Amino acid sequence: MQALGEAVYCDDLEETARIRSGVGELERRMEDTRAEQQRVRRRAEDQIVQARMEAGPTNVVEPEPEPEPMPEPSEPPGPVIVPEPEPVPHEPPGPVVVPEPAPPSE
């Protein structure tokens, strides 16, 4: 397009005609490519529709739940043994030492 603009600006009729012819060819090729893309797209969509019709809806089959196993018999529980607490050493309460407040420093 820049070359076409320069040819028109320079009033070069032969170059302008040649470039316009090239642009026209490019536009025809672009249109052919678009048409081919549309044909491919329609063909793909048709194939998808056909495949969906052949398969039909999918039925989801839920597996049957397995029966829960019976618990194995075990011996009856015996008495629970609780350890005796150890004696806590006892300390007689002592006096609480509270520091005297210090006079404010300057």
Alpha carbon distance 28, 36 (integer Å)? 12
**pLDDT tens across 62-101, in order?**
888 887 877 777 777 778 777 776 665 665 556 667 777 7
Alpha carbon distance 7, 106 (integer Å)? 95
pTM: 0.40
**pLDDT tens across 17-64, in order?**
888 888 889 999 999 999 999 999 999 999 988 887 776 666 777 888
CA distance to 31, 44, 61, per residue, from 35 (Å): 6, 14, 45
Alpha carbon distance 37, 27 (integer Å)? 15
